[in-house]
Structure 1
Amino acid sequence: MRFMSGVVVAVGLLGCGGPEAEQAPFETVGHTDQEIVGGIEARPNSHPWIVSLQQYGSHFCGGSLVRVGDKEESDIVITAAHCVYDGLANATAVAGAHDLYNPTSTQVTARVTKAVYHPQYNPDTTLNDIAVLKLDKPIKFDTTVARACGQSSGMRPNLAPALAGGNTRVPVCLPSSGARVADNTMATVAGWGLTREGGYDTSSILLQVGVPVLRHQDVANSYRSQGINIDENAMLGAGYKQGGKDSCQGDSGGPLVVQRPQGYVLQGIVSFGVGCARAGLPGIYTRVSNYIPWINTQIRTLSAVR
């Protein structure tokens, strides 16, 4: 799952690079080592909002395209603060991708011109791990359903079949402010990160895994043993008590979505975890519904789409 630092030190909480990570009471995992554990290859175009954030052509984090108005295009991506906290040089967002090593004609690349992370983001505790990116040009959606969001050409294995066919670039729906996901709700996380803890190869193919949202108290108790506080308003945990399925390094910033009547809703952003897919230590995700007013303010400020 999750946190990046410049160097691979050891598997642990994935913290940002720099002195903050070194002071942290746990070791960090570098972004050279990133991907979904226990997952399967996603159907091409079934996560049409996901973007691969890249520096110098190399994937380092995921992100999600969001709608900024009535136009069928967007220049705004939501990701994790820890992905951009140390600054971004020559970063691009690639939308419509599936196999990063074999680009298709439907892929679109835009330059990231500005990254705004949450003003209360804390790299030591990972609180408020959310950022909004502005692209140099809008990415056009290819949906036939005007003003829609979250339309997918059919995920698997645990999500319902097609809402719309063959979309490659569609915005994800945002949750309503303060909304909570019920315990045991099945969610899906996708990314190009590591396929096993301590691995060295990220996946060039988009992978996904289904994970249930867990009861806050259980998650908080599990992480307390690691000396980590899980804030219920800002974070949610998803995974299996026995482990085995999780996001991993390189999936950071990517979407955790839940299907709702209007489409797939971005309920979480891949944030951190201790190791990957360990029993009793589920993945921790930024709770997007906690940040809707802030996100909307950033969209109004940053987006050039009118």
Structure 2
Amino acid sequence: MAFTRLAVFLSVLAAASPLRFYAGQGASECTALSECVPMSKCPSGLKALRRRQPLPRLCGFKSNLLKVCCPDLHATSANPVSAGQVTSTTEQNSVGRSSPPKVGARSAEACQKYSEIAFPRINLFIKNGIEAGPGEFPHMALLGYKYNEGQQNSGRTLTKGVNASWACCGTLIHERFVLTAAHCVEKEYPFVVRLGDLDWNSDEDGVQPKEFSVLRIESHPEFNRSSVANDIALIELRTQVPFNWVMQPACLPAPEENQDALRQDLLVTGWGSNAFIPLSATSMLMKARLRAVDFSECNNDYASTRTGGLLEDKQMCAVDPKGLADACQGDSGGPLQVKVKDSQLMKVVGVTSAGKGCGSSPGLYTRVSGYIEWIENVVWPSK
């Protein structure tokens, strides 16, 4: 992430402790209409916590985890539905229909479900700085490649003594899928994805990241290296991600969202270089505020380097109006994002794709809204 390094002052507003909602209430047994589970497994309890409403009855602790009597889990325990099994209402109510569900319906419904079970986060306010805080971007993923001695961004020891070189980023969008750039999985395949990290070079950054083995990689079939067209790919993980405060998915935009809808503050995040010459990798997750650039300006910027020009519905540019920040080498595959209204989650509107230097011109991003149908067919295939 190219930037002017400034002193960072953290001011943390502590989230309200869930225990204060239990004043005077001791642990008790649950009724036949509820089930005693950790708070993190109770959707209605988490929803009440976010809204600062009274929480379900306390029923004990598991290690140091609060357990509550959860009524909604008991009601649906016979037919549990995981986040990865979301299907559109249209699909459920149209038995025997011949037409597929509306493009965007499956990802929108998944976003709604993820929002309802999202973990509340402490608000972090960073004055004049761009270091991310713990759990601020819980959808961020690091892609790990075969370890090569001396390679930049490499050397972090993973669990079970396995080493990996970090070279690209990604976005968790589902309990089994990570969104990234096709050029990140073109010549060399990542074998592991790391989620929940903040500083990959420290074990004392206040988070507990985990590694997930890669099952398969699905690059867009029309990816073109020379023009960087269709620079988007999906990574399927071998095991399901257990959502928590440092590992939560991001949402996807609606297919009709275009550049005009993105004229707001955008955030780009990554573990890439913090300068272009000389390249200097950072182990700390960084963030920068950007603005979308008019497509004609974006296309003119890349006309000489991208044969045939850019694709307006598939590519976009973003830049820091102050010229201080930009995505840089190593940030590839990471998200350009906005906050989802009335939700703890972020929406990934772009995938970091290419650039001419770091900060010298608008960065080029794959426009996610142009690929919703392709993403849904891989992540949420119709039955």
What's the counterpart of residue 265 of structure 2?
A: 186
Instruction: Write the distance in 1 (CA, Å) between the matches of 2:278 and 2:362.
Output: 18
Secondary structure (helix, strand or coil) at the match of 2:249 reads coil
2:122 pairs with 1:40: no
Worse-matched range after superposition: 116-125 or 173-182: 173-182
Q: 2:81 maps to what in 1?
A: none
How far did residue 184 of structure 1 move?
Answer: 3.5
- Tell me which residue corresponds to 2:209: 107
Is residue 2:185 matched to residue 1:84?
yes
Tell me what 2:353 maps to: 271
Deviating 4+ runs (over 6 angstroms) = none
Does the 8 A contact of 2:207 with 2:246 survive in 1?
no
Contact 1:36 1:208 in 2 (8 A): no
- Per the alignment, residue 222 of structure 1 pairs with 301
Residues 136-185 of structure 1 deviation map (CA, whole Å, 9 limit, x = unaligned): 1111111xxxxxxxxxxxxxxxxxxxxxxxx2111001111231143532
Q: What is the CA distance between 1:37 and its match in structure 2? A: 3.3
**What's the offset of the Cα at 1:58?**
1.7
1:137 corresponding residue in structure 2? 239
Q: In terms of Rg, which structure is larger? A: 2
Q: How many pairs are equivalent?
A: 236
Shift of 1:227: 5.3
State how far apart, in whole Å, the 2-side matches of 1:227 and 1:296 are. Answer: 28
The one of the two structures with greater contact order (alpha-carbon pairs below 8 A, sep at least 6) is 1
Q: TM-score, normalised by structure 1?
A: 0.72
Find 1:66's aligned residue among 165, 169, 173.
Answer: 173
Distance in 1 (CA, whole Å) between partners of 2:299 and 2:322 is: 16
Asked whether the 8 Å contact 1:193–1:250 carries over to 2, the reply is yes
Q: Map 1:18-29 to 2 at 5 A.
A: none
1:129-278 aligned within 5 A: 129-142=231-244, 167-182=245-260, 184-226=263-305, 229-240=309-320, 243-261=323-341, 262=343, 263-278=345-360
Q: CA shift at 1:130, angstroms?
A: 0.3
SS of equivalent to 2:238: strand
Structure 1 position 76, deviation (Å): 0.6
Contact 2:227 2:306 in 1 (8 A): no
Whole-angstrom distance in 1 between the partners of 2:306 and 2:165 = 33
Which amino acid is the alignment partner of residue 265 of structure 1? K
Q: State yes or no: 1:296 paired with 2:339.
A: no
What secondary structure sits across from 1:114 in the alignment? strand
Residue 107 of structure 2 aligns with which residue? none
Q: Secondary structure at the match of 1:40?
A: coil
- Closer, same or farther: CA 105–260 of 1 in aligned 2, 3 Å: closer
Q: State how far apart, in whole Å, the 1-side matches of 2:211 and 2:364 are.
A: 29
The whole-number CA distance in structure 1 between the counterparts of 2:226 and 2:255 is: 26
Question: Is the partner of 2:254 in helix, strand or coil?
Answer: coil
Q: Is 1:36–1:190's contact at 8 Å kept on the other side of the alignment?
A: no
Contact in 2 for aligned 1:243/1:282 (Cα 8 Å):
no
Aligned amino acid, residue 362 of structure 2:
P
2:143 counterpart residue number = 53
SS at match of 2:370: helix
Q: Distance in 2 between matches of 1:125 and 1:106?
A: 39
Select the residue among 194, 197, 203 that pairs with 1:94: 194
Write out per-residue CA displacement over residues 18-62 of structure 1, whole angstroms, 9 at most, x where no aligned residue.
Answer: xxxxxxxxxxxxxxxxx4434711112100000111113221100
What is the CA distance between 1:260 and its match in structure 2?
3.0
Match of 2:25 in 1: none
Q: Report the AA paired with residue 37 of structure 1.
A: F
Q: Which structure shows the bigger proportion of residues in helix conformation?
A: 2
Q: C-alpha deviations, 1:232-275, integer Å up to 9, x for none?
A: 11111000366331000000000110123144210000000111
Q: Which amino acid aligns with 1:258?
A: V
Shift of 1:106: 2.0
The Cα offsets for residues 111-139 of structure 1, whole Å up to 9 and x where unpaired, read as 11211100000011000000000111111
Q: Deviations over 1:178-227 (max 9, x none)?
A: 31143532100000000111333211000010001111111112222545
Distance 1:186 1:230 in 2: 23
| Alpha-carbon distance, 1:102 to partner | 1.4
Relative to the length of structure 2, the TM-score reads 0.58
Distance 1:85 1:119 in 2: 12
The aligned amino acid for 2:133 is R
Provide the rounded CA distance (Å) in 1 between the counterparts of 2:323 and 2:357: 11
Shift in CA distance, 293/227, structure 1 to aligned 2, threshold 3 Å: closer
Unaligned runs of 5+ in 2: 5-128, 148-163
- Return the alpha-carbon distance in structure 1 between the equivalents of residues 264 and 310 of structure 2: 19
Distance 1:241 1:220 in 2: 18
